[in-house]
Amino acid sequence: ARYDAATEAEVLGWIKALTGEDVKPGMREVEKTLHDGITLIKLAQAVQSGTDNCPPKAKKMTLKWNKMSTPFKQMENINIFLKFSESYGVSKTGLFQTVDLYEGRNMAQFLSGVCMLGTECQRHGFKGPTIGARPTTQNIREFTDEQLRAGHSVIGLQAGSNKGASQSGMSMGGVRHVADIRADDFDREGQGVIGLQAGSNKGASQSGMSMGGTRHAADIRADDFDRD
């Protein structure tokens, strides 16, 4: 996915609304401002405290950041945000990797991951503003045994419909088997015709042609062979 300016504006606006942090737009500006992970943990704190029906795992998490500027500690901050997001309900496939933000490898995935958290906020009744797509819900339907049995006699539209028509009374003609065809049914004149599939000699024949006398192997005497 490409880095989208509209999605960026949505994410940055949400971050400002929940944390008060004003992040400048632009992919590299976002990376530089957020790669220490502190603002993300503040975002997680706001989501945690603003969700009455917060999932147990996410509710039990202690969300504290480390102010040290060492790469390891900053990446650890990002990882805390990712763990909270997963505990809150975001799937692993919807999250971003730590290096996607810290090293700027995939900023588009970072934006997508934050939007996924916003989607889960809608699902769990977060009291503040939210972003992202609407969450999907299950639509489970139950049928009685009588309804299931009635469905067995219905022809689905994918199987086609004959609109009540049938083949009743239709006749395709009498069936004639090969054994019923007598040899004398064939026209003798037709037996002398060479079909087109067999080729055509355009009226020529082999009449009068001689290929020489036939000599059998028994007629060849041993003394006919050259001793040399």
CA gyration radius, the chain: 43
**Residues whose CB is less than 8 angstroms from the CB of residue 65 and which lie 6 or more positions away in sequence, other chains included:** 37, 38, 41, 42, 77, 80
pLDDT for 90 equals 97
The answer to whether the pTM exceeds 0.75 is: no
DSSP letter at 70 equals: S
- Average pLDDT rounded to a whole number, residues 2-8: 96
- Give mean pLDDT, residues 114-125: 97
The mean pLDDT of 166-182, rounded to a whole number, is 61
Query: What pLDDT, on a 0 to 100 scale, did the predictor assign at position 1?
Result: 76
Average pLDDT, stretch 52-76?
A: 96
Report, as an integer, the average pLDDT of 159-168.
60
Average pLDDT (61-83) is: 97
Least confident residue range of 14-18, 106-110, 113-117, 144-148: 144-148
Average pLDDT over residues 195-199: 52
pLDDT band at 108 (very low <50, low <70, confident <90, very high): very high
Contact between 12 and 26 (Cβ < 8 Å): no
